[in-house]
Structure 1
């Protein structure tokens, strides 16, 4: 027996062992621990533990010679090496990477027949399975799912952050996992457009709408993002240097290109079908879908509503706005170590702003309508708008521009020259969206139709209904003969 002193198991290095070998060595050490540390005879340890005495003697000797690492099973010299022919292994790997994708069982059936024909040893199913499992996931993804899936899962990406606020903004759309009631009271799945500051992760603007994304929704979100907010808790504003968007038709429109040129914004388009360039705003969509929407009625779970949808589009708009202003923008962001609002404010700076809101509306808000100034103001969507400036334009044709989310105020232009902001006196202290008016009109029509149905039902209940004339079965009705004949041909024999 070696005279080497006992090795402390807490200081003995097991770094060169695999997890299985380390576990096996520790199990054997626990078996001889009473003998090694407390001097109990191996015979007594064998009786108490039910282990062979010869095994305990061998383990004890190996422990005194090499420590705990010496208790691990000796590795075979051919560990990790296959006994199969290299050509056979290559054929199995080729079948696993071919199209259509084959299961391990299908590959085993094919390779067994081929091995018998080539006088090779037939591999077991376990051997075929291990060969297919040993292939790189990236190789399998590229072979079966194509370069796009490989790029999205395995290619390196460069995670960047803008050096300062308003240097780069990201804009994108997503369809929300919720149902709302549209203007007709029909459940519809809305869309959300977000404008995000790359440096601070702060949300600068948004737009909730029903229907496919268009340049109008993008313009409304940008208008809100660029101009100063009425809520002091939402200070994010200004014109960005770069706007990062995708290749959607609304982002590649001539309207947005003209707006970017006038405001001196550089448009940067991400690669087609490559969302990596907009990863921050894509991640934010996931946050909204998992944090906010499950708390609202009509939330979709696996494509089905978890509760009855009752929210209107304007109510969802208000819920999204409250979450953005009072939760997301004020909560510390894990990647930047500060709240998006504080990161955007930083040490204080002046954002680049348009000359006026009217100039911004003339560029962005493409919702325009022609109206004629009447003696009592401008009539639009059942509302009346007044401003003293309109007094000298009575009878003149003007162009009005408005925000569909709040039509209590319109902007009036005469021959492309801004005149004034006209307000609806009856609703000056309220915010009314175009969707609210459409919903109110629809509700009114439904109420009138229900009233009509109720009143006509009374008539049917108290007055006898005319009975249809009875006809002889199988015979056409007899036409009466005319009493007066004007021509000889009309006379019948």
Structure 2
């Protein structure tokens, strides 16, 4: 498909379908089919139609990422992978893809492919305005001659949404580990971030949104505790920064040693980190 500047680029349609009602919680075209493209679509599906009890996905490497497993575990969703070379269980979503090709892609206008956003707006207008409101005859056995939206309305009481205090943006953040260099920096996706000098030599967990602007701060965690927000290093200002003094001390896992002499009172220095 030609997007934007008319350069031909391959697009991938990522979609979720409710097995009982054939409603599409969410779907979107993306320029790749990796985990970073899959998870934002999953998050929108949860926001719009609630939490599934089970998430049935393909057996490819993109769906076996540790991050997807972690997100599903936090949401309380059972992650199930299809068996290799077994098409059973994927019939409904494959039929929906076929419907998209026949009823949507053949009717796209030039304006619909000016950008990925425009293409996805057209996809969602068609999904909500036509697909969800159409009785699909023989394709949808078990819908009792109802449209997907009508069938969904009859089962709406059983839909569960995340708890009010659940921060989905935070829950869906990606996590990677990095070792803090001697100049108290870490590198992520070609960008250098400055962290506290107390973390030099330590392995930290960086939590970030891959779709966020490149200069946005990222979370730094150490031993499952939130430490700080790290910001990209400014090359010019970096020339004048002294990096040999930590602004905090890390909490030790071992208990503090007893004073050598009872009469001598030593002050124990203890740094605090904010809990996530």
TM-score, scaled to structure 2: 0.59
Corresponding residue number in structure 2 for 1:217: 37
Instruction: Decide whether aligned partners of structure 1 residues 250 and 400 sit closer, same or farther in structure 2, where only a CA change above 3 A counts.
Output: closer
Instruction: Decide whether aligned partners of structure 1 residues 261 and 333 sit closer, same or farther in structure 2, where only a CA change above 3 A counts.
Output: same
Matched, 1:181 2:3: yes
Matched, 1:364 2:185: no
Match of 2:114 among 311, 314, 325: 311
String of CA shifts for 1:316-362, please: whole Å, max 9, x gaps: 11110111111111112322111111211206405222235862222
Corresponding residue number in structure 2 for 1:286: 98
Provide the rounded CA distance (Å) in 2 between the counterparts of 1:197 and 1:241: 11
String of CA shifts for 1:279-301, please: whole Å, max 9, x gaps: 00000000000110111147xxx
Give the conservation status (yes or no) of the 8 Å contact 1:191–1:208: yes
Shift of 1:207: 2.2
TM-score, scaled to structure 1: 0.34
The residue matched to 1:225 in structure 2 has which SS?
helix
Shift of 1:401: 3.7
Corresponding residue number in structure 2 for 1:345: 153
Corresponding residue number in structure 2 for 1:262: 74
Shift of 1:363: 2.6
Match of 2:22 among 201, 207, 212: 201
String of CA shifts for 1:219-264, please: whole Å, max 9, x gaps: 1111011013xxxxxxxx1111111111111111111111111111
Give the conservation status (yes or no) of the 8 Å contact 2:175–2:207: no
String of CA shifts for 1:201-233, please: whole Å, max 9, x gaps: 00001121113x1011211111011013xxxxx
Give the conservation status (yes or no) of the 8 Å contact 2:113–2:119: no
Corresponding residue number in structure 2 for 1:245: 57
Higher relative contact order (CA 8 A, sep 6+): 2
Provide the rounded CA distance (Å) in 2 between the counterparts of 1:310 and 1:226: 27
Instruction: Decide whether aligned partners of structure 1 residues 312 and 356 sit closer, same or farther in structure 2, where only a CA change above 3 A counts.
Output: same
Matched, 1:273 2:85: yes
Higher helix content, 1 or 2? 1
Structure 2 spans left out of the alignment, 5+ residues? 177-205, 229-276
Shift of 1:185: 4.5
Give the conservation status (yes or no) of the 8 Å contact 2:112–2:122: no
Instruction: Decide whether aligned partners of structure 1 residues 202 and 339 sit closer, same or farther in structure 2, where only a CA change above 3 A counts.
Output: same
The residue matched to 1:274 in structure 2 has which SS?
coil
Provide the rounded CA distance (Å) in 1 between the counterparts of 2:218 and 2:112: 40
Corresponding residue number in structure 2 for 1:394: none
Provide the rounded CA distance (Å) in 1 between the counterparts of 2:113 and 2:219: 42
Provide the rounded CA distance (Å) in 2 between the counterparts of 1:267 and 1:361: 20
Q: How many correspondences in the alignment? A: 188
Provide the rounded CA distance (Å) in 1 between the counterparts of 2:27 and 2:73: 22
Corresponding residue number in structure 2 for 1:191: 12
Provide the rounded CA distance (Å) in 2 between the counterparts of 1:194 and 1:216: 14
Provide the rounded CA distance (Å) in 1 between the counterparts of 2:26 and 2:158: 18
Shift of 1:274: 2.1
Higher strand content, 1 or 2? 2
